Amino acid sequence: MIAASAMTWAPHFSRAFGATSGDFGASTAKPSFPVTDYHVHLSPELTIDKALALGKERGVQLGVLEHPGPNFAIRTDADLKQYIGTLRKYPVQIGLQPVYLGWSKAFSKDLLGQLDYILMDALTLPKRDGGYIELWQVTTQYDDEQAFMHCYTEFIEQILTTEPIDIFGWPTFLPVAIARDYSQLWTRPRIEHIIELAAARKIAIEINEASHVPDETFIQLAKQAGLKFTFGTDSRNQNAAHFSYCYQLAQKCGLTESDMFVPRKK
């Protein structure tokens, strides 16, 4: 069974991960194709002007995200309309990053259609008895790795088959307690199942700078299946548009401009 504390709501991990600078390791040359960081969150530290300055300095376009739903800033159509209107005057892609199943029922289809893209991950895992498991918390422990993987992959399947999303974020991320078993837990059948589900709905795969997922094997298989990719820092600070892992994997896997996600046309 999974041993983890329950919550009535789950603040998203990007608030914690975005608080400190990442260790980007050895630098890798920027790809020859245009690059966008589709996973940027504005904050008191990272205003829209600062984000645009970082993007210009690093030669990277930006996609700005905010979380919709209870306990977040965007809860109603009025909130969403204001969010889109505020950002539309800037040269950025505008997106949402929902964390709860069924989130879109709170918003009109017309307004959701004005977004450039929607990114969702599977890190706010619902518990069968209510509440959520925060997979990004380093203190979360698991009594049975296989039971956890069963629940986790079921949740991923729900997201990829029922939610209105364009990008699957933080794919194959594992909590700290079991991350050492990544290659054993992410078996070929599990990987192929995720890729098949994403391909069926043409959902792009995020290559995540903060967590260094997915790995080369996943990306190569996803590429063979015709999936598109995005780069994302999930940053709220100076890490925005700063890539190393993403560039390394793009080089290793031979990604080209044709492999990269293009937001929906308005």
Report pLDDT digits (tens) over 124-178.
999 888 888 889 988 877 889 999 999 999 999 999 999 999 999 999 999 999 9
Cis amide linkage into residue 214, ω under 30° from 0: yes
Average pLDDT score, the chain = 90
- Position 225 scores a pLDDT of 98
Contact 228, 259 (CB under 8 A): yes
Q: How confident is the model at residue 9 (pLDDT cuts 50, 70, 90)?
A: very low
Percent of the chain with pLDDT over 90: 82
Is CATH 3.20.20.140 what the domain over 34-259 is classified as, yes or no? yes
Q: How confident is the model at residue 28 (pLDDT cuts 50, 70, 90)?
A: confident
- As a whole number of angstroms, the distance between CA 162 and CA 157 comes to 8
- Position 138 scores a pLDDT of 86
Tokens of 154: 């079921």
Report pLDDT digits (tens) over 79-128.
999 999 999 999 999 999 999 999 999 999 999 999 999 999 999 999 88
Burial 145-166 (b: 16+ CB within 10 A, else e): eeebbebbbebbeebbeebbbb
> Hey, where are the domains in the chain?
34-259
Region 230-243: mean pLDDT is: 98
- Position 86 scores a pLDDT of 97
Report pLDDT digits (tens) over 179-218.
999 999 999 999 999 999 999 999 999 999 999 999 999 9
- Position 4 scores a pLDDT of 40
- Position 5 scores a pLDDT of 33
Distances (CA, A) of 72 to 9, 38, 52, 96: 10, 20, 24, 12
| Pairing assessment for the beta strands 124-126 and 132-134 based on DSSP bridges | antiparallel
- As a whole number of angstroms, the distance between CA 18 and CA 20 comes to 6
Distances (CA, A) of 181 to 11, 110, 114, 178: 26, 43, 41, 6
Asked if residue 71 has pLDDT above 90, the reply is no
Asked if residue 53 has pLDDT above 50, the reply is yes
Q: Which residues touch 124 (CB under 8 Å, ≥6 apart)?
A: 10, 12, 99, 100, 132, 133, 134, 135
Asked if residue 42 has pLDDT above 80, the reply is yes
